[in-house]
Amino acid sequence: MILRDPVHGLISFEGPAESIISRLLDTRELQRLRRVRCLGPASLAFPGAEHTRFAHAVGSAHVMKRYLDRVYALSDDLPAADQVDHDTAQVALAAALLHDLGHGPYSHAFEAVLPHPFKHEDWTSRLILDPDSEVHAVLRQIDSEAPGRVERLVHGEGDIPHLARAVSGTFDVDRCDYLLRDSHMTGVRYGVLDLDWLLQSMRLMVAPGEQRARMAVDGEKGLTAVEGFFLGRLYMYRQVYLHKAVRAAESVMRALFRRLDELGPQPGTPAGMAKLLVGQEPTMGEFLDLDDHAFEQALKAYCTSTDPILAELAGRMRYRRLFKTLRLRHDVPVARAMARLREVLDTHHDGPDYLAAVDRVEVAAYYEDSRMMAYTGGRLQRLLDVSPVLHGLSNETFVHYRLIFPPELRAVIKEAFVDLR
């Protein structure tokens, strides 16, 4: 199995352990990911960002294959318990491929705006463990334990710590692929990381007094690549994930779901979404029917709703009539901004107050993760202690702080907030 990928170039799964990939790709659970875009509403701001969870799943499995190649190259110095055998390789490749199986329409945006809790990780587990799913059936062909092993690995758990971290950790195959893919597809090149060099400078080292290997980076050769990896994440947050148009679109989505919650059942709502809106659990079939297309067809139906607010919000999504934003000074208390906003809305707006919002997000510039070390000067050290860049970042926070509001309020908002921006 060989395919072309815009991010990784030539991808081939031809080794014996890799045959699991093509069997999993043919399942309906994975085929559903063709209809779930990675970045949800971001394509409203970045016309190229139409890439799907399916392509990301394939890319993640490819990075896992390369990770395993590196593990084999390092295996001479690896404790027996940390070695990867044939079955474990299959499990690891499957976990990389399936790690996002449970995403709803528009990926992260969906769970961010649903009025009731929804965690895509739970649905990933359910789809892997449910004996009626097609992926479960394929995984059982490895052995009866395989579905459980894959499910645990997806959540960063398993017998081999370094492998669990490679599936879900600070430096994992998921992030390696999504930073590259989101960069390539949005045209924001800041997330491009140096995968070749990251893998080449990766070590698996047993710290003194320990039995099991940790991931480490060669502090002489790989530090810049690792810093680039963390900076890439940061930049993609700033440039893409928290882009003002993306946040504005999520704000419209949130208002729409809140309106649906207020109104009760509405025509055109897919069955699975109807259940999620009232905090019930969809059936697996209902969940599998829930994808970007189902959601957008619902939006189309809402455009002709008898409720003018629902119709307006749906039209904003469908025809990209997004809310506007205004940046606020970082030192303005959120409560004060909200009070001010409420005054404006009370005076100038006759719609529900949730049509405008105060949006404040803080992203820590760098978190140290003790399971990702630097190997330098003959010993394992904290990344913080060997990298001035990460040390500098570790005290910094990125603040995105904005008002989000309908365009017709622009003038009054600008005037009302003149001292807070």
Interface size with a second copy, residues (CB under 8 A): 76
Q: Report the residue number, 89 or 199, with the smaller CB distance to a second copy.
A: 199
Stretch that binds a second copy, among 91-99, 156-164, 204-212, 215-223 (CB under 8 A): 215-223
Question: For residues 301 and 90, what is the distance between their CA atoms, to the nearest angstrom?
Answer: 43
Q: Is 279 in the site for a second copy (CB under 8 A)?
A: no
Give the shortest CB-260-to-a second copy separation in angstroms.
19
Give the C-alpha separation, 236 to 190, whole Å: 7
Q: How far is the CB of 99 from a second copy (least distance, A)?
A: 16
Residue 28 binds a second copy, judged by CB under 8 A: yes
We find the least distance from the C-beta atom of residue 47 to a second copy, in angstroms, to be 4
Binding to a second copy (CB under 8 A) within 339-398 occurs at 365, 376-378, 388-389, 391-398
For the chain, the maximum distance between any two Cα atoms, rounded to a whole number of angstroms, is 72
What is the rounded distance in angstroms from the CA atom of residue 57 to the CA atom of residue 69? 19
* Interacting span for a second copy (CB under 8 A) from 47-55, 172-180, 202-210, 334-342: 47-55
Contacts to a second copy from residues 96-125, by CB under 8 A: none
Q: Binders of a second copy among 49-78, rule CB under 8 A? A: 50-52, 54-55, 58
The nearer residue to a second copy, 139 or 223, going by C-beta atoms, is: 223
Q: At closest approach, how far in Å is the CB of 58 from a second copy?
A: 6
* Rounded Cα gap, residues 343 and 358, in angstroms: 13
Report the amino acid identity of residue 28.
Answer: R
Beta strand pairing call for 357-364 and 372-376: unpaired
Should residue 421 be labelled a site residue for a second copy when binding is judged by CB under 8 A?
yes
- Cα 392 to chain centroid distance, Å, stands at 26
CB under 8 A: which stretch of 1-9, 105-113, 118-126, 249-257 binds a second copy? Answer: 1-9
**Cα 323 to chain centroid, rounded:** 24
Distance CA 88, CA 319 (A): 48
Residue 191 DSSP label:
G
Question: Which parts of 220-249 interact with a second copy (CB under 8 A)?
Answer: 220-221, 223-224, 227-228, 231, 234-235, 238-239
Report the site for a second copy in 136-155 (rule: CB under 8 A): none
| Contacting residues for 82 by C-beta, under 8 A, at least 6 apart | 160, 161, 162, 204, 212, 213
List binders of a second copy among 292-321 (CB under 8 A). Answer: 292-294, 296-297, 300, 318-321
Closest CA to 180 of 7, 6, 3: 7
Residue 184 gets the label, from left (phi > 0), alpha (psi -120 to 50) or beta, of: alpha
How far apart (Å, rounded) are the C-alpha atoms in residues 57 and 2? Answer: 15
Q: Which of residues 177-206 bind a second copy (CB under 8 A)?
A: 184-190, 194, 196-197, 200
Q: Choose the stretch contacting a second copy; rule: CB under 8 A; options: 40-48, 113-121, 150-158, 253-261.
A: 40-48
Query: Alpha-carbon torsion 223, 229, 230, 232, what sign?
Result: positive
